[in-house]
Amino acid sequence: MELLSNLQLGFEVALTLQNVLYCFLGVLLGTLIGVLPGIGPVATIAMLLPATFALPPVSALIMLAGIYYGAQYGGSTTAILVNLPGEASSVVTCLDGHAMAQQGRAGAALAIAALGSFFAGTVATVVLAIAAPPLAELALRFGPAEYFSLMVLGLVAAVVLARGSLLKAMGMILLGLLIGLVGADVNTGQFRYTFGLPNLADGIGFVVVAMGIYGFGHIIANLEHPDERKTGIAPIGSLFPTTADLKASWGAVLRGTGLGSALGILPGGGALLASFAAYALEKKIAKDPSRFGKGAIEGVAGPESANNAGAQTSFIPVLTLGLPTNPVMALMVGAMMIHGIAPGPQVMTERPELFWGMVASMWVGNLFLVLLNLPLIGIWVKLLSVPYRLLYPAILLFSCIGVYSLNNSAVDVGLALLFGLLGYLFIKLDCEPAPLLIALVLGPMMEENLRRAMTLSRGDPTVFVTRPLSLGLLIVAAALLIMVILPAVRKKREEAFRE
């Protein structure tokens, strides 16, 4: 009964005219950036963060969340019709989705992707509503030592689940922690690593780093390639899947939803890992694996369901523990801090209208996405005709305005450009920047909880291993690290990411 009363509160908040409009705006923008390759939700949310300063916190977070899960929907449209994944998690949808389109069955592929995504999003929101309260209640027992150990576990998991080399992922974690040290010391107020620049007294802003690495860095990288987006668009055909399509895909939708809901909670996982894992699972259990890559509808239904479920369950650790699991969730934590909300279990008790309003808005947003995606397919595809030479200067202009408006500082714009060059270097060196952003968010909180735990224990470092919860979290972190260092496990991990 308590869950029902909480959901009632959530719908009362989410269904106000203002919040419905911002939810619609969020999913519309999310679909748009999902359709356009090379932009992505991280850069878009970072760009729009300054624009949310004047909004009420609930409306701002509802819109930003809508952008994230809306992008998961939009990426499938161009993946199926044009063989261009608008969003990274839609890469595997290209394999069978575009093959179906070439066979004249694009409409069926789009319909299954939309319906599977809607079902997965709805189920994942139920999981969020049910799982979050007990997890938040557990988190209320956490002290500084437990929070420090939890963040250590989060950073280790981000390394384990990061794409590519383990050594590079560890390097990105360390770099993120070092950037987080810039600014005033937590306890003494002394300036650290500011190089005498007063603009760095408050540290390097998270939005500046995210915008530089993901926004400017990816734009520079994309400008290296010729404009190859003007490819043939497959005819859509009927949007109604056949009975055989529905029969073949319902199992894949259920499996993708379950897999995505579980993987979305993991640090570094989320929608991207879920979609690849779902495709691998469907191919593994299929009676005829050779059909995959040639138009198997399970290859569309499974990954699309998984990436939407993963996108929404990734909000669970953020809203209950204040632990971001991917760069978008790190931005959501930044947005909460900007609006004066301390992320963690107290959000549910102190700001129930915010927590349950966001949960309820996800149902509203998923409904909007089904209504938006199928009827407006023609419009979304036409956006692909916009040449990069016109698109990217506009993105750069809005990005620079957004960064400048943070503190009305030209130094922030300069820093964003420097991080843009660093982001471009990461792409060239094949370094995954997600661990860096997660470390940048967790680093200052880790330091604060470390200092607080050591103060309360009068300088006794054993406090981290004498408290059961803290010890348990550290043991799990150590076990993960040892497992992934083992040669056999490391080889399997590299093979999985390569596939």
Q: What is the pLDDT of residues 404-459, one digit of tens each?
A: 776 777 888 888 889 989 989 988 888 878 788 878 878 888 888 888 888 888 88
User: Percent of the chain having pLDDT more than 90?
Assistant: 4
Helix (H) or strand (E) holding 244: helix 243-263
Contacts of 172 (CB under 8 A, 6+ apart): 162, 426, 431, 432, 433, 434, 435, 436, 439
pLDDT for residue 491 = 65
Q: How far apart are CA 13 and CA 20, in angstroms?
A: 9
pLDDT for residue 102 = 79
Q: How far apart are CA 253 and CA 245, in angstroms?
A: 12
Q: How far apart are CA 325 and CA 437, in angstroms?
A: 10
Q: State CA 253 to chain mean position distance.
A: 21
Give the pTM.
Answer: 0.73
Nearest 5°: CA angle at 174, between 173 and 178? 120
Q: How far apart are CA 144 and CA 140, in angstroms?
A: 11
β-strand partners of 183: 192
pLDDT for residue 230 = 47
User: What residue segments make up the domains of the chain, in order of their start?
Assistant: 2-498
Q: State CA 340 to chain mean position distance.
A: 22
Tell me which amino acid residue 474 is.
Answer: L
Contacts of 290 (CB under 8 A, 6+ apart): none
Q: How far apart are CA 37 and CA 40, in angstroms?
A: 7
Please count the residues of the chain. 499
Q: How far apart are CA 347 and CA 6, in angstroms?
A: 14
Q: What is the pLDDT of residues 328-357, one digit of tens each?
A: 787 888 788 878 887 777 788 788 888 888
pLDDT in tens, the chain (499 residues): 677 888 888 899 989 999 999 999 988 888 887 776 656 677 777 777 777 777 888 898 898 888 888 877 777 777 777 766 656 667 778 778 878 887 877 778 888 888 888 888 888 888 888 888 887 777 777 888 888 888 888 888 777 766 667 788 888 889 989 998 888 887 777 888 888 777 787 788 777 887 788 778 877 877 776 555 444 555 566 667 778 878 888 888 999 898 888 877 766 556 667 787 788 888 888 888 788 877 788 888 888 888 888 888 888 888 887 777 777 787 888 788 878 887 777 788 788 888 888 888 988 888 888 887 767 766 766 666 667 677 778 777 777 877 777 677 788 888 888 998 998 998 888 887 878 887 887 888 888 888 888 888 888 888 898 888 888 889 988 888 887 777 666 666 555 555 5
388-407 and 40-48 are packed helices; what angle lies between their axes, rounded to 10 degrees?
A: 40
β-strand partners of 192: 183
